[in-house]
Chain A
C-alpha cells in the first residue's frame, strides 16, 4: 500500500491561509486509511482540531468532512461533487495521487495536500510501516530469494552487501535490517547461496521514473 503521514497542523493552517470560510476535509478509504493517515478517523480528528483553532481565533469557518472510497478514481470523486463544489478549499487527506486527481477533476477549486506521501510499504507492527518496493518497473525479487535490494538496501546494491554492514544492521540506521543479511540468510536456508556469485549488471532505470513520468496501458481494457 501507499504509506503516508499527516502534515503538521501548523503547516496545514499556514497552507490554508485566511481567505476562505468553508473547508472540506476529504479522506481516502484505501491505502492511507490503512496507514492511519487519511481515513475517516483522521479526517474527523483533524476537523476537530481545526474547528477549535479557528473558534479560538474568532474566525467563522465551516468545516465539512467526508471520506471517498478512493480519490485516485474519477468514479469515486464524481460521487463527492456536491460537497466539493459547496466549499472554498478542499484539504485532501489522500496520497499525492488523490490530490492531483481532485485537481484534475475540479480545476477551479483550491485543492491542498494534508499528507506527506511516503512510500510503498507493509505494516510491520501496529502503527509501523516499512518500505518494501520502490516501483522500479522491473521486478528482481526472483533473483534475491524474495527480498528486494533495490528498495531495502540503502545503496540499492545488486551484487552484495556494502562494507558497512555489521551484525545484520544497515550502516545508515541500526534499526533497519541489512537487506543483504536477509538475502544471505534466505540463500543459506534455501541452499541457493551459490546463485549470488553471478554478476548482476546495472539496472535499466529507463523503466523507473528516470525515463520520464510513466503511463501504463493495458491493451485488453484500454479505450481511447
Chain B
C-alpha cells in the first residue's frame, strides 16, 4: 500500500486500532504549556487533536498550538470550525496549516458562540461542516478553491469530520453523515459515548448504509472523574447522552479517579468489539494527564510503529 503523508491514515490503512486524543490550547500564549502537554502524550497516542476555540471560548489558535506540539514529535490533527471564519479565512488557514506540515484536519461547523464567553460576537457559519469538508477535499484532491481558482501546490491533508450518534433527528443525522462521506470525509470522530446501547444501534445503522466501509470511525471516549461533570454534560452539553446509571456508578464510587479510568477502559473494550469501529478518540476535559493511563490500562500500549 502506498504510504500517504498522514501517519494516522497510514495506521488506519494498515488495519491498526488507532488511538487519538485531544489537547486543549491555553487561554494565553505560552508555548511551554503546549510542549508539556505534548510530552505527556508522546508514544501513547497516534494522533492528537487540537481544538479550535472549543465551546466558543478564545484560546491559542489550533494551528499554532498544533505546530508547537508537532515539533515535540506528535502527529497532529488540527480542528477547524466554520464558526469564526468565512470561506476566505478557512481556505487560507488550510493552506497555512499544510505549509507548516500539519497533515490531518477535523472539519466542524463549530459550537455556537452563545455557549462561550463572547455571546455578543458575530457568528459566521458561512459554510457548514459538509460544505467545509467539500471545500477542503477539493483543495487537497483537485487543487482547486471554492471560487474555481487552481493552485500550484495544493495542501496535503487527511480529512476528518464529526458524527454524533446521540443527536436528533436520527435519520437526518445519518443522511448528513453520508453527505460528509460524499463530500470527502475519510475519518469520523464521534461524540463521547456514555450510552453504549444507543451507540451500538447507531453503528448498526452505519453498517447498514456501508458508511464504515467508506470512512474510518473512531469512537469518542471522555474519561471523567466527577459526577458533577457527568451531570453538567447531561444537562448542558448539546448533543450529549449520559444515562442515569452512569452518573449513579460514579456517585457510588469511592475512588472516583480509578472509577473514571475503569469506565473509560470498559468503553474502549466494548467499542473495540463493534464491527466498523477502527479506533478511539480520547477527550478527557481538564484531565488530559490521564490519557496515557487509560491507553495502558486498555492494553493499547505500546503503540505500533508505522511510517
Residue numbers of A with Cβ under 8 A of B are: 154-168, 171-172, 178, 180-181, 183-185, 193, 196-197, 199-203, 205
Bound-state CA distance A166–B241 (Å) is 10
Q: Are A178 and B168 in contact (CB under 8 A)?
A: yes
Which segment, of B9-17, B26-34, B122-130, faces chain A?
B122-130
B238 interfacial contact with A, CB 8 Å: yes
Judged by a CB distance under 8 angstroms, whether B136 is at the interface is no
Q: Which residue of chain B has the shortest Cβ distance to A180 in the bound complex? A: B172
Identify A171's interface contact among B130, B163, B238, CB under 8 A.
B238
Interface segment among B177-185, B199-207, B248-256, B278-286: the answer is: B177-185
B292 within 8 A of A: no
Q: How far is the CA of A158 from the CA of B131 in the complex (A)?
A: 9
A197-B171 contact given A155-B112, A165-B239, CB 8 Å threshold: no
Task: Tell me whether A155 and B128 are in contact in the complex, defined as CB-CB below 8 angstroms, given that A171-B239, A202-B87 are known contacts.
Answer: yes
Tell me the bound Cα distance from A202 to B123 in angstroms: 16
Give Cα A58–Cα B174 distance, bound, in whole angstroms: 68
- CB of B179 within 8 A of CB of A161, answer no
Q: A163-B191, A164-B167 are in contact. Are A155 and B123 (CB under 8 A)?
A: yes
* Assembled-state Cα–Cα distance A203/B171 (Å): 24
With a cutoff of 8 Å between Cβ atoms, the chain B residues found around residue A205 in the complex are 126
CB-contact partner of B167 in A159, A166, A172, A201, under 8 A: A166
With contacts A165-B169, A202-B87 taken as known, whether A156 is within 8 angstroms of B239 at the C-beta atoms is no
Does B238 lie within 8 Å of A202, measured CB to CB? no
Which residues from chain B contact A197 at a C-beta distance below 8 Å? 175, 178-179
- For chain B, the count of residues having a C-beta within 8 Å of the partner chain is 37
Min distance, Cβ A204 to any Cβ of chain B, angstroms:
11
Complex contact B87–A159 (CB within 8 A) = no
User: B109 touching A157 by the CB < 8 A rule?
Assistant: yes
- Which of the residues B109, B114, B166, B169 comes within 8 Å of A181, measured between beta carbons? B169
Contact B166 A196 (CB under 8 A): no
- Tell me which of A160, A165, A171, A202 contacts B126 (CB under 8 A): A202
Smallest distance from the beta carbon of A179 to chain B beta carbons, Å? Answer: 11
Residue of A nearest to B125 (CB): A155
- Which residues of chain B come closer than 8 Å to A158, judged between CB atoms? 128, 131
B114: chain A residues at CB < 8 Å are 154, 172
What's the Cα separation between A161 and B134 when bound, in Å?
Answer: 17
- Min CB distance A205 to B, Å, is 7
Is B227 interfacial (CB 8 A cutoff)? no
Q: Which of B207-258 contact A (CB under 8 A)?
A: 238-239
Is A164 touching B131 in the complex (CB atoms < 8 A)? no
Is there contact, CB below 8 Å, between A159 and B128? yes
CA distance A183 to B59 in the complex (A): 35
Is A199 in contact with B130, judged by CB distance below 8 angstroms?
Answer: yes
Residues of B near any A CB (own CB < 8 A): 83, 87, 109-112, 114, 123, 125-131, 134-135, 146, 162-164, 166-169, 171-173, 175-176, 178-179, 182-183, 191, 238-239
Bound CA span A181–B169, Å: 6
Tell me which residues across on chain B come within 8 A of A184, comparing CB atoms.
Answer: 169, 171-172
Given contacts A157-B125, A163-B239, contact A172 B112 (CB under 8 A): yes
By the criterion CB–CB under 8 Å, are B168 and A165 in contact? yes
Contact of A163 among B125, B134, B167 (CB under 8 A): B167
Among residues of B, the one whose C-beta sits closest to the C-beta of A194 is: B175
**Which of B87, B128, B134: most chain A Cβ within 10 A?**
B128
A168 partner residues in chain B, CB cutoff 8 A: 168-169
Decide if B176 touches A159 in the complex (CB within 8 Å): yes
Give the distance in Å from the alpha carbon of A197 to the alpha carbon of B182 in the complex.
10
CA A180 to CA B125, docked complex, whole Å: 16
Please state if A199 and B179 are interface contacts (CB–CB under 8 Å).
Answer: yes
Q: Which of B87, B168, B179, B239 has the most CB of A within 10 A?
A: B168
Q: Pick the contact of B112 from A159, A171, A196 — CB < 8 Å?
A: A171
Instruction: For the complex, give the distance between the alpha carbons of A184 and B169 in Å.
Output: 7
Given A160-B172, A180-B172, A199-B167 contact (CB < 8 Å)? no
Q: Can you list 30 A-B pairs with a CB-CB distance of less than 8 A? A: A154-B114, A155-B125, A155-B128, A157-B109, A158-B128, A159-B130, A159-B176, A160-B173, A160-B175, A161-B169, A162-B109, A162-B128, A162-B129, A162-B239, A163-B162, A164-B167, A164-B239, A165-B239, A166-B166, A171-B239, A172-B114, A180-B169, A180-B172, A184-B171, A197-B178, A199-B179, A200-B130, A201-B131, A202-B127, A202-B131
Pair A161/B172 contact, Cβ less than 8 Å:
yes
Measured CB to CB, the nearest residue on chain A to B165 is A163
Instruction: Tell me the minimal C-beta distance from B120 to chain A in angstroms.
Output: 14
Write out the residue numbers on chain A whose beta carbons fall within 8 Å of the beta carbon of B169.
161, 165, 168, 180-181, 184-185
- CB contacts (< 8 Å) of B162 on chain A: these are 163
